[in-house]
Amino acid sequence: MIKKIFCLLYFLSISGFSILPAQNVQGNDAIIPLAREGSGYERFLHINEVVKENQGTIDLLFIGDSITQGWESAGSEVWDEFYGERKALNIGISADRTQHVLWRLENGNIDGIYPELTILMIGTNNSGADRNTPPEILAGVKAVVEKIRSSLPGTKILLLGIFPRGAEFNDQRGVITQVNQALSKLDDRGNIYFLDIGHAFLESDGSISEEIMPDALHLSPAGYRIWAESIEPFISGHLDE
């Protein structure tokens, strides 16, 4: 009962820009801001320091989990090529779920910065048999979008579909596909733009090769190039407006 009350209170607190259906609120931990511990919290503190050093207007803000954080490792050369001449910040944190992103957006990770464009890709860590249902994941991603819209009203959001995972067809991919189909409805062609580039990582038989995702989840340098090339037309078109 207490958990349900907290969920309801959170929903009411963001209802001024409501895209979150009420039936998905009760009992859904994906929409309740939650702090990380250990390395996740250390990364959060590091991001706060980086943000303090980059106050004001920036071109690009990348928000997400380990796949986004990976721009700093496997994706570093591609990042330098595509974003090195732009003022871009990466605030991805490995293992983050929607609830963790909600918490850190309230606790310093975007304070004092004003991105022209925010690229958001989150939700894969909420999926899985022992985690959240598709409606709960959908509500969690929507809550993150709402938080960005309320905290950074001047930014445009490029909401990416959750990337496919698993070397072959599997039930988890099905969950992700269902969530992405619903997320596409958030695209208003003004403030929020939805783009699903998941197909670009797949082979013609539906498999994902080790050359693109070595563990069938995280991207290789070639995978990051696919990501960058897939979103560059949108980025260049909107930053050059």
Domain holding 44, by residue range, is 2-239
Check the CA dihedral 100-104-109-114 and report its sign: positive
- Whether residue 10 is predicted with pLDDT greater than 90 in this model: the reply is no
Closest by CA to 136, choosing from 24, 32, 26, is 24
Q: How far apart are the C-alpha atoms of 213 and 188, rounded to whole Å?
A: 31
Instruction: Cite the active site residues.
Output: 66, 215, 218
Biggest alpha carbon–alpha carbon distance for the chain: 51
Range from 4-18, 67-81, 208-222 carrying the lowest mean pLDDT:
4-18
CATH number of 75's domain: 3.40.50.1110
> Does residue 142 sit in helix, strand or coil?
helix
Which pLDDT score is estimated for 199? 98
Closest by CA to 30, choosing from 163, 106, 123, 158, is 123
With vertex at residue 33, the alpha carbon angle to CA 66 and CA 1, rounded to the nearest 5 degrees, is: 130
Q: Considering its fold, how many domains does the chain have in total?
A: 1
Closest by CA to 158, choosing from 55, 228, 212, is 228
- Whether residue 150 is predicted with pLDDT greater than 70 in this model: the reply is yes
**pLDDT higher at 13 or 180:** 180
Which pLDDT score is estimated for 77? 98
Q: How large is the C-alpha radius of gyration of the chain?
A: 17
